[in-house]
Protein backbone atom coordinates (compact mmCIF):
# COMPACT_ATOMS: atom_id res chain seq x y z
CA UNK A 1 0.00 0.00 0.00
CA UNK A 2 2.83 2.42 0.86
CA UNK A 3 4.47 1.77 -2.52
CA UNK A 4 1.19 2.41 -4.33
CA UNK A 5 0.72 5.69 -2.47
CA UNK A 6 4.31 6.73 -3.12
CA UNK A 7 4.11 6.23 -6.87
CA UNK A 8 0.74 8.00 -6.88
CA UNK A 9 2.31 10.98 -5.13
CA UNK A 10 5.24 10.95 -7.56
CA UNK A 11 2.75 11.11 -10.43
CA UNK A 12 0.96 13.99 -8.71
CA UNK A 13 4.25 15.90 -8.50
CA UNK A 14 4.98 15.32 -12.18
CA UNK A 15 1.48 16.40 -13.22
CA UNK A 16 1.75 19.52 -11.07
CA UNK A 17 5.03 20.36 -12.78
CA UNK A 18 3.60 19.86 -16.28
CA UNK A 19 0.41 21.80 -15.41
CA UNK A 20 2.43 24.83 -14.30
CA UNK A 21 4.41 24.67 -17.54
CA UNK A 22 1.13 24.67 -19.47
CA UNK A 23 -0.16 27.59 -17.43
CA UNK A 24 2.91 29.68 -18.15
CA UNK A 25 3.37 28.97 -21.85
CA UNK A 26 0.56 26.76 -23.10
CA UNK A 27 1.23 23.48 -24.91
CA UNK A 28 4.83 24.47 -25.65
CA UNK A 29 5.39 25.15 -21.95
CA UNK A 30 3.79 21.84 -21.03
CA UNK A 31 6.12 19.92 -23.35
CA UNK A 32 9.11 21.94 -22.16
CA UNK A 33 8.26 21.15 -18.54
CA UNK A 34 7.83 17.45 -19.31
CA UNK A 35 11.19 17.14 -21.07
CA UNK A 36 12.89 19.19 -18.36
CA UNK A 37 11.49 16.82 -15.72
CA UNK A 38 12.79 13.85 -17.71
CA UNK A 39 16.25 15.42 -18.01
CA UNK A 40 16.42 16.27 -14.31
CA UNK A 41 15.32 12.76 -13.36
CA UNK A 42 17.99 11.32 -15.67
CA UNK A 43 20.68 13.29 -13.83
CA UNK A 44 19.21 12.27 -10.47
CA UNK A 45 19.14 8.60 -11.46
CA UNK A 46 22.78 8.44 -12.48
CA UNK A 47 24.48 11.01 -10.26
CA UNK A 48 22.34 11.64 -7.13
CA UNK A 49 24.54 9.46 -4.89
CA UNK A 50 27.73 11.31 -5.86
CA UNK A 51 26.02 14.68 -5.43
CA UNK A 52 24.72 13.96 -1.93
CA UNK A 53 27.94 12.35 -0.70
CA UNK A 54 30.08 15.22 -1.98
CA UNK A 55 27.68 17.74 -0.41
CA UNK A 56 28.54 16.37 3.04
CA UNK A 57 32.23 15.72 2.29
CA UNK A 58 31.69 12.03 2.98
CA UNK A 59 34.84 9.92 2.72
CA UNK A 60 34.74 6.30 1.54
CA UNK A 61 36.20 3.88 4.06
CA UNK A 62 38.29 0.88 3.12
CA UNK A 63 37.67 -2.40 4.92
CA UNK A 64 40.61 -1.70 7.25
CA UNK A 65 39.51 1.86 7.98
CA UNK A 66 35.93 0.83 8.71
CA UNK A 67 37.07 -1.46 11.55
CA UNK A 68 34.13 -3.10 13.34
CA UNK A 69 31.68 -1.20 11.16
CA UNK A 70 32.58 -3.31 8.12
CA UNK A 71 31.56 -6.75 9.49
CA UNK A 72 28.45 -5.17 11.01
CA UNK A 73 27.33 -3.82 7.61
CA UNK A 74 28.37 -7.07 5.91
CA UNK A 75 26.25 -9.16 8.29
CA UNK A 76 23.16 -6.98 7.81
CA UNK A 77 23.69 -7.00 4.02
CA UNK A 78 23.79 -10.79 4.06
CA UNK A 79 20.63 -10.95 6.19
CA UNK A 80 18.92 -8.61 3.73
CA UNK A 81 20.16 -10.67 0.74
CA UNK A 82 21.84 -7.58 -0.70
CA UNK A 83 25.27 -6.77 -2.12
CA UNK A 84 27.66 -5.08 0.28
CA UNK A 85 27.25 -1.29 -0.04
CA UNK A 86 30.14 1.15 0.12
CA UNK A 87 30.65 2.70 3.54
CA UNK A 88 31.24 6.44 3.96
CA UNK A 89 32.16 8.51 6.99
CA UNK A 90 31.02 12.08 7.62
CA UNK A 91 33.25 13.88 10.11
CA UNK A 92 30.49 15.35 12.26
CA UNK A 93 29.76 14.66 15.90
CA UNK A 94 26.03 15.07 15.29
CA UNK A 95 24.73 11.47 15.24
CA UNK A 96 22.98 10.58 12.00
CA UNK A 97 23.13 8.34 8.94
CA UNK A 98 21.69 8.03 5.46
CA UNK A 99 21.75 5.73 2.45
CA UNK A 100 22.01 6.65 -1.20
CA UNK A 101 22.23 4.95 -4.58
CA UNK A 102 19.90 4.04 -7.42
CA UNK A 103 19.78 0.30 -6.64
CA UNK A 104 21.39 -2.31 -4.35
CA UNK A 105 24.26 -2.85 -6.79
CA UNK A 106 25.15 0.86 -6.76
CA UNK A 107 24.60 1.91 -3.17
CA UNK A 108 26.32 3.49 -0.21
CA UNK A 109 25.68 3.97 3.49
CA UNK A 110 27.03 7.13 5.14
CA UNK A 111 27.38 7.46 8.90
CA UNK A 112 28.59 10.35 11.00
CA UNK A 113 31.39 10.02 13.52
CA UNK A 114 28.83 10.92 16.18
CA UNK A 115 26.50 7.98 15.51
CA UNK A 116 29.34 5.46 15.67
CA UNK A 117 30.44 6.86 19.03
CA UNK A 118 26.90 7.11 20.45
CA UNK A 119 25.30 3.74 19.64
CA UNK A 120 26.27 0.24 20.69
CA UNK A 121 26.59 -2.51 18.08
CA UNK A 122 23.02 -3.73 18.57
CA UNK A 123 21.54 -0.27 18.04
CA UNK A 124 23.89 0.52 15.16
CA UNK A 125 22.83 -2.74 13.48
CA UNK A 126 19.23 -1.54 13.66
CA UNK A 127 20.21 1.75 12.01
CA UNK A 128 22.16 0.01 9.25
CA UNK A 129 19.22 -2.35 8.65
CA UNK A 130 16.98 0.72 8.28
CA UNK A 131 19.33 2.30 5.75
CA UNK A 132 19.75 -0.90 3.76
CA UNK A 133 15.95 -1.21 3.69
CA UNK A 134 15.80 2.19 2.00
CA UNK A 135 18.18 0.89 -0.66
CA UNK A 136 16.40 -2.45 -1.09
CA UNK A 137 12.99 -0.74 -1.38
CA UNK A 138 14.41 1.80 -3.90
CA UNK A 139 13.50 4.61 -1.47
CA UNK A 140 16.81 6.36 -2.07
CA UNK A 141 16.04 6.70 -5.78
CA UNK A 142 12.39 7.66 -5.26
CA UNK A 143 13.27 10.29 -2.66
CA UNK A 144 15.84 11.94 -4.88
CA UNK A 145 13.51 11.98 -7.88
CA UNK A 146 10.79 13.52 -5.69
CA UNK A 147 13.19 16.16 -4.40
CA UNK A 148 14.28 16.93 -7.96
CA UNK A 149 10.74 17.43 -9.25
CA UNK A 150 9.75 19.42 -6.16
CA UNK A 151 12.74 21.68 -6.71
CA UNK A 152 11.73 22.11 -10.33
CA UNK A 153 8.21 23.11 -9.23
CA UNK A 154 9.77 25.83 -7.08
CA UNK A 155 11.70 27.01 -10.12
CA UNK A 156 8.58 27.09 -12.30
CA UNK A 157 6.66 29.01 -9.64
CA UNK A 158 9.39 31.63 -9.82
CA UNK A 159 8.94 31.69 -13.59
CA UNK A 160 5.21 32.17 -13.03
CA UNK A 161 5.99 35.31 -11.05
CA UNK A 162 8.01 36.63 -13.97
CA UNK A 163 5.21 35.71 -16.37
CA UNK A 164 2.79 37.65 -14.18
CA UNK A 165 5.09 40.70 -14.22
CA UNK A 166 5.38 40.66 -18.00
CA UNK A 167 1.78 39.83 -18.81
CA UNK A 168 1.92 36.02 -19.18
CA UNK A 169 0.18 34.46 -22.15
CA UNK A 170 -2.04 36.46 -24.50
CA UNK A 171 -3.99 33.77 -26.36
CA UNK A 172 -7.50 34.70 -25.33
CA UNK A 173 -7.86 31.82 -22.89
CA UNK A 174 -7.07 34.05 -19.91
CA UNK A 175 -4.77 31.44 -18.37
CA UNK A 176 -1.99 33.92 -17.80
CA UNK A 177 -4.01 36.44 -15.85
CA UNK A 178 -2.40 37.96 -12.80
CA UNK A 179 -4.66 36.35 -10.21
CA UNK A 180 -4.10 32.81 -11.46
CA UNK A 181 -0.36 33.36 -11.72
CA UNK A 182 -0.28 34.74 -8.20
CA UNK A 183 -2.12 31.68 -6.88
CA UNK A 184 0.30 29.36 -8.69
CA UNK A 185 3.30 31.29 -7.43
CA UNK A 186 2.15 30.94 -3.81
CA UNK A 187 0.41 27.56 -3.69
CA UNK A 188 2.42 25.40 -6.12
CA UNK A 189 5.58 25.27 -3.95
CA UNK A 190 3.45 24.50 -0.89
CA UNK A 191 1.67 21.68 -2.74
CA UNK A 192 5.00 20.29 -3.98
CA UNK A 193 6.44 20.38 -0.45
CA UNK A 194 3.44 18.58 1.03
CA UNK A 195 3.59 15.85 -1.63
CA UNK A 196 7.34 15.41 -1.12
CA UNK A 197 6.92 15.20 2.65
CA UNK A 198 4.14 12.62 2.26
CA UNK A 199 6.46 10.48 0.15
CA UNK A 200 9.28 10.79 2.68
CA UNK A 201 7.10 9.89 5.67
CA UNK A 202 5.59 6.84 3.99
CA UNK A 203 9.03 5.51 3.09
CA UNK A 204 10.35 5.99 6.66
CA UNK A 205 7.62 3.82 8.14
CA UNK A 206 8.28 1.17 5.50
CA UNK A 207 12.04 1.18 6.15
CA UNK A 208 11.50 0.85 9.91
CA UNK A 209 9.33 -2.22 9.39
CA UNK A 210 11.73 -3.77 6.88
CA UNK A 211 14.66 -3.13 9.22
CA UNK A 212 12.84 -4.85 12.08
CA UNK A 213 12.28 -7.91 9.92
CA UNK A 214 15.86 -7.99 8.61
CA UNK A 215 17.46 -7.67 12.04
CA UNK A 216 14.74 -9.52 13.95
CA UNK A 217 15.20 -6.92 16.69
CA UNK A 218 12.71 -4.00 16.42
CA UNK A 219 13.61 -2.73 19.90
CA UNK A 220 17.22 -2.13 18.85
CA UNK A 221 16.10 0.38 16.23
CA UNK A 222 13.57 1.88 18.64
CA UNK A 223 16.33 2.43 21.21
CA UNK A 224 18.59 3.94 18.55
CA UNK A 225 15.87 6.38 17.49
CA UNK A 226 15.45 7.57 21.08
CA UNK A 227 19.17 8.19 21.49
CA UNK A 228 19.54 9.83 18.10
CA UNK A 229 16.62 12.19 18.64
CA UNK A 230 17.92 13.38 22.00
CA UNK A 231 21.52 13.74 20.84
CA UNK A 232 20.68 15.51 17.57
CA UNK A 233 18.90 18.21 19.57
CA UNK A 234 22.06 18.82 21.59
CA UNK A 235 24.41 18.60 18.60
CA UNK A 236 22.67 19.98 15.49
CA UNK A 237 23.77 18.95 12.03
CA UNK A 238 24.28 21.52 9.26
CA UNK A 239 22.15 19.70 6.70
CA UNK A 240 20.85 21.07 3.43
CA UNK A 241 17.02 21.19 3.70
CA UNK A 242 16.72 19.66 0.21
CA UNK A 243 18.41 16.46 1.43
CA UNK A 244 17.13 16.42 5.03
CA UNK A 245 14.71 13.59 4.22
CA UNK A 246 17.63 11.24 3.51
CA UNK A 247 18.71 11.04 7.17
CA UNK A 248 17.38 8.49 9.65
CA UNK A 249 16.30 11.28 12.03
CA UNK A 250 15.48 14.83 11.01
CA UNK A 251 18.75 16.79 11.13
CA UNK A 252 16.91 20.11 11.06
CA UNK A 253 15.55 21.88 14.10
CA UNK A 254 11.82 22.40 13.75
CA UNK A 255 9.17 23.99 15.90
CA UNK A 256 6.43 21.69 17.11
CA UNK A 257 4.05 24.08 15.40
CA UNK A 258 5.70 23.22 12.10
CA UNK A 259 5.90 19.47 12.73
CA UNK A 260 3.35 18.95 9.95
CA UNK A 261 6.02 20.10 7.50
CA UNK A 262 8.74 17.84 8.92
CA UNK A 263 10.49 15.52 6.48
CA UNK A 264 10.13 12.68 9.00
CA UNK A 265 7.12 11.15 10.77
CA UNK A 266 6.96 11.69 14.56
CA UNK A 267 9.63 9.71 16.38
CA UNK A 268 7.09 8.68 19.02
CA UNK A 269 4.91 7.07 16.36
CA UNK A 270 7.89 5.29 14.77
CA UNK A 271 8.95 3.90 18.14
CA UNK A 272 5.39 2.83 18.95
CA UNK A 273 5.14 0.89 15.69
CA UNK A 274 8.48 -0.80 16.32
CA UNK A 275 7.42 -1.78 19.85
CA UNK A 276 4.22 -3.26 18.40
CA UNK A 277 6.30 -5.27 15.94
CA UNK A 278 8.41 -6.56 18.82
CA UNK A 279 5.30 -8.27 20.17
CA UNK A 280 4.75 -10.12 16.92
CA UNK A 281 6.61 -13.07 15.48
CA UNK A 282 8.81 -11.57 12.78
Q: Which residues, other chains included, contact 148 with Cβ-Cβ below 8 Å and sequence gap of 6+?
A: 40, 41, 43, 44, 48
Report how far Cα 88 is from the mean position of its chain's Cα atoms: 18
Helix (H, G, I), strand (E, B) or coil at 112: strand
d(CA 72, CA 80): 12
What is the helix (H) or strand (E) element at residue 59, kind and residue range?
strand 59-60
- Number of Cβ within 10 Å of residue 70's Cβ equals 16
Q: Indicate which residue of 131, 173, 268, 275 is catalytic.
A: 131
Rg (CA), the chain: 20
Q: Which residues, other chains included, contact 232 with Cβ-Cβ below 8 Å and sequence gap of 6+?
A: 94, 95, 96, 249, 250, 251
10 Å CB burial of residue 205 (0-12, 13-18, 19+) is middle
Burial annotation 218-238 (CB, 10 A radius, 16+ → b, else e): bbbbbbbbebbbebbeeeebe
131 assigned to active site? yes
The catalytic residues are 131
Amino acid sequence: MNSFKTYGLMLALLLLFVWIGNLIAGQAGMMWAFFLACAMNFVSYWFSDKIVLSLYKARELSQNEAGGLYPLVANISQAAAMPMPKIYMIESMSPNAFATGRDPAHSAVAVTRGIVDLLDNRELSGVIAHELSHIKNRDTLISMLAATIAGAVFMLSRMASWAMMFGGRNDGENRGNGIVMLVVMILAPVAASIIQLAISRAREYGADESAARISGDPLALAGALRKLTDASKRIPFAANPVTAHFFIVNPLKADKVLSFFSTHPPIEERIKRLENLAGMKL
